[in-house]
Chain A
Amino acid sequence: MKKIISLVLVLVLAFSLVGCGKDGKTTEGNDKKITVGVVQTNANESDWRTANTISFNEAFADAGFTTKMVFGEGDHAKQISQAQQLIQEEVDYLVVLGLQSAGWEDVAKAAKEAGIPFIMADRKLDLSEDLYTAMVCSDFEAEGNKAVEWLKDQALDSYKIVVLGGDTGSSAQLGRSKAIEEGAAANGWDIVFNQNMKGWDETLAKQAVADLIAAGTEFNVVYAQNDNMARGACDAMDAAGITYGRDGDVKVIAFDANKWALEKVLAGDFNLDVECNPLHGPRIVKLIKQLEAGETVEKNAYVDEEMFDTETITQAIVDARSY
């Protein structure tokens, strides 16, 4: 009996704790409104993700849509079951931001059978073209290529590049790594270090760069695949007295272009930050309106993304950034 009570107690605790982590953003709407189901990755993964979520909520609210947003919280299988749940609830449109790119065929087929347009956002999923309606994704390889082009324009005497990759196998890591690896091979640059950091985090990037410095590895370019890892690399270089940025020996390239990172570009700490645009909401609203009007939409559209270096950045750009 005692055991049963303790078991029940633990279950209650577990569910209440897990329950706390969820974001109760699902809202019930009336039948006349268009209901959009959004399968988001994590609620509070990063500033970028927060801006992304807000973009959906605001744009859909402005357009008069009802939003049903669910969060996978790092669990790919959970995302799939959430998507199937949304299909059963008969949402009018399904927007998916997949944690992983594989394994979405069944969901896409179910959506197609139910007549629900399937829209991919943020990351491209491995689906054949007939299974999805449209996509609003970032082209990570193109982002990387922009950085490679910029690097080429710098005309350094020699290129010794440290590549700090993101989570192994995520589409952002794959695309951005591919760009620099191919760019280096094509231009005869040396990649002196190329490893992926678990979790896109400052700490691991900082440790790696500190280890490289201690081992006497020479480098003059840091290609960090997000803002946070670039910041970690800068911390490590600070600690060893290596200069970087606009007036320094090491060029620092970052991705995502969060507001605080653009401030660093403005201050001359980062040389280049390539934007990864999180504001998908308005584009999806536009897509849905076109679909409602019966127009054909461009199937494989990538979002517009810019890049900012120490020459092109202005205070106005930083101020205009909302995330």
Chain B
Amino acid sequence: MAKNNKKADTHHEVSAMKKIIKHKLFIPIVFLMFLLLINIFIKPGFLRISLGKDSSGNPVLIGNIINILNNATELVILAIGMTLVTSSSKGQDISVGSTIAIVGGVIMRVICGNETQPTRLMAPIIVALILGCLAGMACGAFNGILVAKFNIQPMVATLILFTAGRSIGSMAMGGLKPKAVASFGYYGNFIPGFPIPTPIIITIVVVAITFLVLKKTNLGLYTRAVGINDKSSRLNGLSPARIKFLTYVIMGFCVGIAGFVQSSRVQTVNPYTIVPGIEMDAILAVALGGNSLGGGTLNMAGSIIGAYTIQTLTSMLTTLNVNTNAVPVFKAVIIIILVAIQTPTVKKFFSSKVPLSKLATNNGKERG
């Protein structure tokens, strides 16, 4: 990594300013602010949040920011798991979209039984949630065993479920396309009488638990240690295999929650089309958050901000009605700008003025 080559004039800068710029969340936050500013510039009403009523007369909050926070839920939850997996195993889980199909299939089967238009819940929703999470964790454990025990590269190991997951999801549903009762939709939409979308609440809870776990346990430290160096962490008394396995199971749990929210949104699941391409968005969120995709870094807050950045971008392309053929190009251009700013070359260029390069060396440095 590039060492900073401070110039004389930087000494005069206020040290607080320097601290902010050096902070590892600086770039991710600036990205997000940048996108929001573009939005506000083009659509002045972008930040407006109004209290409306839905068709049954219940109060609901309506606004672009609410939509972004709401729709980013799955991505944020997946990005949390993906950050851990990336950090510990030096690779990514590309099966998350397919395993969401499996989780969705299981949840629909539990709630709808064998009927396509059930008039009641076939099982309590908590049972569906638990079984969905267990299904997700089983997939995570499968990936984890391949990665941790058999030392298969994560992308190859997870390619198996990536390929087969959607078919398995379809089989879990018995080939049916059921639509669950409306009350199952509370978890992906609104609880009647409560104006904040439920997924936002779920996100807050999951994020809070994540930070609590990272603060109170050694999970973050051990994960990074294993990601930086397998052997030395083993010599220090850690079990790399167990920690990698654990991160994949946590990833599976995240998939379970995300799959639950996703299937609740429209109370139906099409395993072949559910969350198209979300695995790439989740990996991108991790990258945008300033994490090394080569493992050993753990910038959880960065990944979460990265996830919101991607959702902001998606939402922006909709509200601006970008030509449908140009959407992928538009997205790609913005992403390449965001990623390019983070490369050492560009950082070095800017570090001649602002010592940003500290950023790059900061992340992996803590002792494992």
List, in ascending order, chain B residues with CB within 8 A of A165's CB: 324
User: Chain A 1-33, CB within 8 Å of chain B: the 1/0 string?
Assistant: 000001001100110011011000000000000
The reply to whether A210 and B67 contact each other, CB–CB distance below 8 Å, is yes
Determine whether B177 belongs to the interface, using a CB cutoff of 8 Å to chain A: yes
Residue of B45, B262, B268, B318 near A212 (CB, 8 A) is B318
The reply to whether A21 and B324 contact each other, CB–CB distance below 8 Å, is no
* Shortest CB distance B218–A (Å): 29
Determine whether B53 belongs to the interface, using a CB cutoff of 8 Å to chain A: yes
Stretch from A40-48, A91-99, A136-144, A147-155 forming part of the interface with B:
A40-48
List, in ascending order, chain A residues with CB within 8 A of B167's CB: 18, 20-21, 43, 73
The reply to whether A243 and B318 contact each other, CB–CB distance below 8 Å, is no
The reply to whether B160 and A13 contact each other, CB–CB distance below 8 Å, is yes
List, in ascending order, chain B residues with CB within 8 A of A199's CB: 270, 272-274, 276
Stretch from B54-62, B121-129, B357-365 forming part of the interface with A:
B54-62
**Given known A-B contacts A211-B64, A238-B55, A241-B55, A195 and B327 have beta carbons under 8 A apart:** yes
**Which residues of B, 6-54, contact A by the 8 Å Cβ criterion?**
43, 45-46, 52-54
Residue of B nearest to A211 (CB): B318
Q: A215 to B52, alpha carbons, bound, how many Å?
A: 14
Determine whether A85 belongs to the interface, using a CB cutoff of 8 Å to chain B: no
The reply to whether A201 and B164 contact each other, CB–CB distance below 8 Å, is no
Residue of B46, B63, B67 near A207 (CB, 8 A) is B67
User: Chain A 192-228, CB within 8 Å of chain B: the 1/0 string?
Assistant: 1111101111111011101111111100000000001
Please give the number of chain A residues whose Cβ is less than 8 angstroms from any Cβ of chain B in the complex.
55
Centre residue among B63, B152, B270, B275 by max chain A CB count within 10 A? B270
Residue of A nearest to B165 (CB): A17
Determine whether A168 belongs to the interface, using a CB cutoff of 8 Å to chain B: yes
Determine whether B168 belongs to the interface, using a CB cutoff of 8 Å to chain A: yes
Do most interface residues of chain B lie in helix, strand or loop, or is the interface mixed? mixed
The reply to whether B170 and A44 contact each other, CB–CB distance below 8 Å, is yes
Residue of A47, A50, A214, A232 near B62 (CB, 8 A) is A214
Q: A232 to B150, alpha carbons, bound, how many Å?
A: 43
Residue of B nearest to A11 (CB): B160
The reply to whether B274 and A193 contact each other, CB–CB distance below 8 Å, is no
**Given known A-B contacts A44-B170, A206-B266, A228-B270, A198 and B322 have beta carbons under 8 A apart:** no
The reply to whether A194 and B150 contact each other, CB–CB distance below 8 Å, is no
Q: A46 to B152, alpha carbons, bound, how many Å?
A: 35
List, in ascending order, chain A residues with CB within 8 A of B118's CB: none
List, in ascending order, chain A residues with CB within 8 A of B294's CB: none
Determine whether B189 belongs to the interface, using a CB cutoff of 8 Å to chain A: yes
Residue of A17, A217, A238 near B160 (CB, 8 A) is A17
Determine whether A74 belongs to the interface, using a CB cutoff of 8 Å to chain B: yes
Residue of A nearest to B146 (CB): A10
Determine whether B117 belongs to the interface, using a CB cutoff of 8 Å to chain A: yes
Residue of A nearest to B53 (CB): A241
List, in ascending order, chain A residues with CB within 8 A of B57's CB: 241
The reply to whether A241 and B271 contact each other, CB–CB distance below 8 Å, is no
The reply to whether A20 and B179 contact each other, CB–CB distance below 8 Å, is no
Residue contacts A-B, CB under 8 angstroms, 22 given:
A9-B150, A14-B160, A17-B160, A17-B168, A21-B168, A43-B167, A44-B271, A46-B177, A46-B270, A168-B325, A194-B321, A194-B323, A198-B277, A199-B276, A201-B273, A211-B67, A211-B315, A211-B318, A214-B319, A215-B43, A235-B189, A240-B52
By Cβ-Cβ distance, the 3 closest A-B pairs, closest first, are A21-B167, A199-B273, A17-B164
User: Which residues of A are interface residues toward B (Cβ below 8 A)?
Assistant: 6, 9-10, 13-14, 17-18, 20-21, 42-47, 50, 73-74, 165, 168, 192-196, 198-204, 206-208, 210-217, 228, 231-232, 235, 237-243, 260
